Chain A
Amino acid sequence: MLSISFGGLLRRPEAGAALGLVAVLIFFAIFGGVTFLKPGGMASWLNVAANLGVIAIPLGLLMIAGELDISVGAMVPFGAMTVAVISGHYGLSIWLGVAVALSFGVIVGLVNGFLIIKTAVPSLIVTLGSLFAVQGIVLGLTVLITKSTSVALATEGPAKAIFGDFVMGGQLQVMVLWWMGLTALYIFFVHFSPFGNWIFAMGGDKVSARNAGIPTDRLTMILFVLSSTSAAFVGMCQAILYNSAQVAGGQSFIFNSIIAVVVGGVLLTGGFGSVVGIFFGTVTFAIVTQGIYYTDFDRNWSSLIIGVLLLGAVLMNNTFRHMALAYTPKKGGK
């Protein structure tokens, strides 16, 4: 019985991601020493994982549904700049800045979703277009309004505490709590409510899903709104935390979140994956990128080590997916 349930665990979408996570933890516990596992060190990769994870999960759901949203790379600075201009440059209420930043996220998501549904142009192309368009809007408007590409923002009071402060002894970003909470919500909706089944069906075969009565268009809209609003949220929180917003930046979120999602066991072609897997993938990515700083490796080799570890994690995933597909209980396969 024990071996059967263990086999069952190995066939889950997050199995590879979980083992990959354990592997990199061991790797850095050996080469990074104790500092890496002390609260300060753990906070270091948890903070990075949280900011990435809030974007990676909705992006992962889009990928499970067979779509992609790379405009998140522009939504991070857009969210940051919106709150900085409204509440920093104009000195209006921080709550107004937060509300407008998030609404812009919703609007861009709706535009992305609408274009993809109506034109049937692949989402990679549509969101590539909105990536550049939003970057242009951020740069153009910021310079027009503030005559600069960097805007300062000083926040105090509850807004600072809720969106951009440190908690639990001043090491963890409050974003970590947001990330945990959102992950729990996503797990419920994707794996326990019927809603999640629709996402998988959409990614597996869109036409069959529509024939089975799933509102694929509405679902597509919701997922795009989720991803771009989440990215705007992360940008907004970073601006509040770092008291400043820059026009540039955010592009690394595109590849980093796709990597986290794929390391987390989501199939690039859609239809397969899990929220827990994406969670593990995000933590793995954060550990790999941050763990380097706790080791004695020459920093010039960072990218190489990151690349090799991530490739390893993805290969591990592939192996487990094949195991899941090849599994036939009667023949005693593994």
Chain B
Amino acid sequence: MSFMKTIARVMATTALVAAGSAAMAAEIAVIGGSNDDAFWNIIKKGIDDATPAVEANGGSVTYLRLVNYDNFAPDVVQLIRTAISMEVDGLVIPNWVPEAEDPAIKEAIAAGITVILMNAGGADKAIELGAINYVGSDEYVAGVAGGEYFGTAGKKNILCVNTLPGAANTEARCKGVIEGVTAAGGTGVQLPLPTTSFGDATAVAEAIKAELLKDPTIDGVITISAGDADSAAIAVAQAGQATPAMLGSFDMNQAGLDRIQAGTQAFAIDQQPYLQSFLAVSLLASSIDFGTDLPVFPVLTGPGIVDASNIEATLAGVKLGAR
């Protein structure tokens, strides 16, 4: 056993030396959101954890972050150009603003940089631009998973609370939920809340409660954000149904995780940002260094369902900054 280990270590060292001198060791740049944004700090944890493997092969990883979102599109494009001028081999980039970013991404690919789209963009965009893959979540697929979760639990009448109606991603989430639960034999409707209630926890709570009072057969409620679930939890508790409606949410916050632990919320749908950056960096490095080609396309990191069965592990992950 120890002999095998020694051999492995010698081989690794040799590989490191060899790779270090080779021109093909992957120099990778990752572009991400600002320091203030908790989401992008989880992304950073994924990058940090993937970096040792890249460095072991003689490469490097640079995380280029936006300072703020005040001058969003030009700043993102500037970061792409920075990556090109650094003559990196690979680029991981969220396609937030296609119309602004697409020309710059095409330029990067033309300059011989291998690109993976992460977090935003989707599979079709990856093909269109010539990126080798898309690593991220799909709001619709996440919604379907939520709908199926309700269906599996025997829930028949689901309310999807949308506090930002009209936004493409929230609409896709609710559409997924409704189709997911319909496929499982139930029904679902979207509750679009007017802008007058956005950000007013009481207005959101009372709107949900009103729907529950009006239609007591609603047995499942899901919100498009973690903050709205705080309101929904009160609404469900207040509605006085014989069996309180099952509560789920997209994304998660501490209060939501506490509720899952306490049993007053069933589940949260997580897009698992840690996996997005961890996998994107690893896949890209491996492709550049070793020519690997992952047949899975796109790579979906979500939906990850957090419920009573995995809440303890999730909370441990939160402590480590990975969830």
Contacts and interface: CB of A to CB of B under 8 A. Distances in A.
Q: Within 8 Å by CB, do A and B touch in the complex?
A: yes
Interface of A: 35, 38, 40-41, 44-45, 47-48, 50-52, 76-77, 139-140, 143, 147-154, 166, 170-171, 173, 175, 238, 241-244, 246, 248-253, 255-256, 289-290, 292-294, 299-300, 302-303, 306
A242 B199 CA distance: 13
A248 B227 contact: yes
A13 B38 CA distance: 49
A192 to B, nearest CB: 30
A287 to B, nearest CB: 11
Contact of B199 (A47, A139, A252, A290): A252
Contacts of B193: 302
Contact of A252 (B196, B211, B254): B196
B314 interface: no
Given A147-B38, A151-B254, A249 B207 contact: no
Contact of A290 (B165, B210, B255, B321): B210
Contact of B200 (A243, A244, A249, A303): A249
B199 A248 contact: yes
Given A244-B227, A290-B206, A293-B214, A249 B192 contact: no
B32 to A, nearest CB: 15
Given A143-B38, A150-B226, A249-B227, A44 B199 contact: no
A48 B203 contact: yes
Contact of B234 (A77, A139, A175, A241): A241
B191 A299 contact: yes
B195 A303 contact: yes
B70 to A, nearest CB: 11
Interface in B183-234: 190-203, 205-207, 209-211, 213-214, 226-227, 230-231, 233-234
Contacts of B230: 242-244, 246
B89 to A, nearest CB: 32
B60 interface: no
B258 interface: yes
Nearest to A256: B196
B98 interface: no
Contacts of B227: 150, 244, 246, 248-249
**Chain B CB within 10 Å, residue with most, of A35, A241, A244, A256:** A244
Interface size band for B: 35 or more
Nearest to A289: B196
Contact of B254 (A76, A244, A292, A306): A244
A48 B206 contact: yes
Contact of A147 (B200, B205, B321): B321
A4 to B, nearest CB: 40
Contacts of A299: 190-192
Q: Interface majority SS on A: helix, strand, loop or mixed? A: helix
B253 A150 contact: yes
B202 A252 contact: no
B317 interface: no
Interface in B266-287: none
B263 interface: no
A248 B132 CA distance: 36
Contact of B213 (A35, A50, A173): A35
25 contacts: A35-B213, A48-B206, A147-B41, A148-B253, A152-B258, A154-B258, A166-B238, A170-B238, A173-B202, A238-B202, A242-B231, A244-B227, A249-B199, A249-B201, A251-B198, A251-B199, A252-B200, A256-B200, A289-B197, A290-B203, A293-B207, A294-B214, A299-B191, A300-B165, A302-B194
Contacts of B234: 241-242
A28 to B, nearest CB: 11
B36 interface: yes
Contacts of B226: 150
A152 B194 contact: no
Nearest to A310: B196
Nearest to A239: B201
B240 interface: yes
A242 B192 contact: no
B209 A44 contact: yes
A293 B210 CA distance: 6
Nearest to B36: A143
A289 B204 CA distance: 11
B254 A289 contact: no
B192 A140 contact: no
A150 B254 contact: yes
A329 B129 CA distance: 78
Q: Which 8 pairs between the two chains have the least Cβ-Cβ distance?
A: A249-B199, A293-B210, A244-B255, A150-B253, A152-B254, A152-B255, A246-B227, A303-B194
Contact of A171 (B37, B191, B238, B253): B238
B196 A47 contact: no
B271 to A, nearest CB: 16
A48 B240 contact: no
A306 B196 contact: yes
A54 to B, nearest CB: 11
Given A40-B240, A149-B38, A252 B214 contact: no
A279 to B, nearest CB: 17
A242 B237 CA distance: 12
Given A170-B238, A244-B230, A306 B253 contact: no
